[in-house]
């Protein structure tokens, strides 16, 4: 087992990983940018190293600086969290070369999962259902036009190297396509350094259902059940739950089997997620593999009792999975709300500032993953996720009641947050019934939100 792990991340996920290290008797090293000198993860770790100026490209994405910090502190492994370097193949390779264990999938896994076109091809060959799409990258607008005429509208333009909901455009007709294609190309180049686009059939009113995977070095792959992540805004998840209120036992079995097949097809190692869309007729399609710990991992932890971060660490140290899906005792219901420092009344305008009054919710069935504390000044440079509030109960209705009560208790004055939006959702009859699709949240949003032009 490792003696010391460097955490190449910040915010709530850095705190989450440090807790797992502490419980495992492993020392932790926090890294931080100059804007994060007062961050909670520094107070919790055993050691800390400044890795650069506020802008992420020079700190949390600075591979040399992070490797140097690991060497200086004699860390034997690096946990990348999510976002930043978590899915960067080059970084995983650099760690290998330096004799530092990268806690995550292999560089080979990262290269296949990171290229959505290549990944889809492999899945198709493995017999996993995929969404009809262009056979490869679509270079010119003429190529795009003729392909769309073939499969029919509506279609979705996606960036081959995309992620985090960015670089996605829906086109209802050829007019939209002509307008959106060049914009998407520019956006993909700016955001991902790769302007390759492909086109997919648009699935109307789908649910997003994903399966948590664990795999060990011997090639054993298991899944830990599904997560329902249909409540999204601009293709980004807001509320997740486990299990999904939209699956029958038969569908759950078929999708779980397909998820394992997908992971096996790329010899997947460590924790990962296989994402699917489920259409109105109960047909499901693979969309991508996320090769990292995910933001919404706590809902799976609560329903399975398995600490996924500790499992990542254990598997990366060479230990094996000594249990199977049938040994898991999946029970109860968990719901997560991603709380952002954004004003839902003002088109989700970021709301940084100092937390003057902090009252976290607590009590039976409540888990809060956050880096907030009273007096904390939120830097303007980073993601607006400030907390993940997770509720747990034996039933879904119970988990909704706990969530409502916890959201009401939560106070982070004077920041504007997405808490009021989530309170509305918890009262919505369709949400309570479990009947919704990815367009669900639109009815709660102000008008201007429909204008998709400005970037998040």
Q: Does 294 bind ligand ADP (CB under 6 A)?
A: yes
Place of tokens 């991902």: 192
Q: Does 83 bind ligand ADP (CB under 6 A)?
A: yes
User: Quick one: which of 73, 236, 317, 347 contacts ligand ADP (CB under 6 A)?
Assistant: 236
**Tokens describing residue 111:** 């290269």
Q: Does 237 bind ligand ADP (CB under 6 A)?
A: yes
Report, in Å, the least distance between residue 106 CB and Mg ion: 20
DSSP state of 381: S
Contacts with Mg ion, 251-290, as mask; x by CB under 5 A: ------------------------x---------------
Closer to ligand ADP by Cβ: residue 202 or 358: 202
Active site residue 292: yes
Please state, as a whole number, how many other Cβ atoms lie within 10 Å of the Cβ of residue 288: 20
CA dihedral 56, 61, 67, 69 (to 10 degrees): 10
Place of tokens 């664990």: 214
Q: Which of residues 322-381 bind ligand ADP (CB under 6 A)?
A: none
**Tokens describing residue 419:** 């808490």
User: Quick one: which of 45, 61, 131, 386 contacts ligand ADP (CB under 6 A)?
Assistant: 131
Q: Are 147 and 137 in contact (CB under 8 A)?
A: no
Closer to ligand ADP by Cβ: residue 15 or 295: 295
Closer to ligand ADP by Cβ: residue 2 or 60: 60
Q: Does 202 bind ligand ADP (CB under 6 A)?
A: yes
Q: Does 200 bind ligand ADP (CB under 6 A)?
A: yes
Residue 342 touches which of ligand ADP, Mg ion, none (CB < 5 to 8 A by kind)? none
| Active-site pick, 16, 292, 338, 367 | 292
Q: Are 65 and 59 in contact (CB under 8 A)?
A: yes
| Alpha carbon distance 331, 171 (integer Å) | 41
Q: Buried b vs exposed e over 81-109: b needs ≥16 C-beta within 10 Å?
A: bbbbbbbbbebbbbbeeeebbbbbbbbeb
Q: Are 7 and 18 in contact (CB under 8 A)?
A: yes
Report, in Å, the least distance between residue 89 CB and Mg ion: 18
Residue 438 touches which of ligand ADP, Mg ion, none (CB < 5 to 8 A by kind)? ligand ADP
Residue 208 touches which of Mg ion, ligand ADP, none (CB < 5 to 8 A by kind)? ligand ADP
Q: Are 119 and 286 in contact (CB under 8 A)?
A: no
Q: Does 162 bind ligand ADP (CB under 6 A)?
A: yes
Number of residues this chain uses to bind ligand ADP (CB under 6 A): 28
Please state, as a whole number, how many other Cβ atoms lie within 10 Å of the Cβ of residue 162: 24
Taking CA atoms, 286 is separated from 39, 113, 206, 305, in Å, by 38, 12, 12, 27
**Residue 118 C-alpha from the chain's centroid:** 21
Closer to ligand ADP by Cβ: residue 209 or 406: 209
Please state, as a whole number, how many other Cβ atoms lie within 10 Å of the Cβ of residue 429: 7
User: Quick one: which of 291, 366, 438, 440 contacts ligand ADP (CB under 6 A)?
Assistant: 438
Q: Which of residues 357-386 bind Mg ion (CB under 5 A)?
A: none
Q: Does 104 bind ligand ADP (CB under 6 A)?
A: no
CA dihedral 390, 395, 401, 404 (to 10 degrees): 30
Binding site for ligand ADP (CB under 6 A): 82-83, 131, 156, 162-165, 168, 200, 202-203, 206, 208, 232, 235-237, 275, 277, 287-288, 290, 294-296, 383, 438
Binding site for Mg ion (CB under 5 A): 275
Active site amino acids: 292
């Amino acid at each position: 087992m490792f003696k010391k792990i460097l955490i190449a991340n910040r915010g709530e996920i850095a705190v989450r990983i440090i807790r797992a290290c502490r419980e495992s008797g492993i020392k932790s090293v926090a890294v931080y940018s100059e804007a994060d000198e007062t961050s909670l993860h520094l107070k919790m770790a055993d050691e800390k190293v400044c890795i650069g100026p506020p802008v992420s490209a020079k700190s949390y994405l600075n591979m040399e600086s992070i490797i140097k910090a690991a060497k200086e502190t004699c860390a034997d492994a690096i946990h990348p969290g999510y976002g930043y370097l978590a899915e960067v193949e080059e970084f995983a390779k650099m760690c290998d070369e330096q004799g530092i264990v990268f806690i995550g999938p292999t560089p080979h896994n990262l290269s296949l999962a990171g290229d959505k076109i290549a990944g889809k091809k492999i899945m198709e060959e493995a017999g996993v259902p995929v969404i009809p799409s262009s056979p490869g990258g679509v270079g010119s607008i003429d190529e795009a036009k003729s392909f769309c005429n073939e499969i029919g509208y509506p279609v979705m333009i996606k960036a081959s190297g995309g992620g985090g909901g960015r670089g996605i455009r829906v086109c209802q007709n050829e007019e939209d396509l002509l307008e959106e294609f060049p914009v998407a190309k520019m956006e993909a180049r700016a955001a991902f350094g790769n302007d390759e686009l492909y086109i997919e059939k648009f699935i109307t009113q789908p649910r997003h259902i994903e399966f948590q995977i664990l795999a060990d070095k011997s090639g054993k792959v298991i899944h830990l059940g599904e997560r329902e992540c249909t409540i999204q805004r601009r293709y980004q998840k807001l509320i997740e739950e486990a299990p999904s209120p939209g699956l029958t036992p038969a569908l759950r079995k078929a999708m779980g089997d397909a998820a394992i097949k997908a992971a096996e097809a790329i010899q997947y190692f460590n924790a990962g997620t296989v994402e699917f869309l489920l259409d109105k007729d109960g047909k499901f399609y693979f969309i991508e593999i996320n090769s990292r710990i995910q933001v919404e991992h706590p809902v799976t932890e609560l329903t399975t009792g398995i600490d996924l971060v500790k499992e990542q660490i254990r598997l990366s140290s060479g230990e094996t999975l000594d249990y199977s899906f049938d040994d898991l005792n999946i029970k109860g219901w968990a719901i997560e709300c991603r709380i952002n420092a954004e004003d839902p009344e003002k088109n989700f305008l970021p709301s940084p500032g100092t937390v003057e009054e902090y009252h976290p919710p607590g009590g039976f069935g409540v888990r809060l993953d956050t880096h907030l504390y009273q007096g904390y000044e939120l830097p303007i440079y980073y993601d607006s996720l400030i907390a993940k509030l997770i509720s747990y109960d034996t039933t879904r209705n119970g988990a909704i009641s706990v969530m409502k009560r916890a959201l009401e208790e939560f106070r982070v004055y004077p920041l504007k947050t997405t808490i009021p939006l989530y309170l509305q959702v918890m009262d919505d009859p369709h949400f309570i019934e479990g009947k919704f699709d990815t367009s669900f949240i639109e009815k709660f949003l102000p008008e201007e939100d429909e204008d998709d032009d400005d970037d998040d």
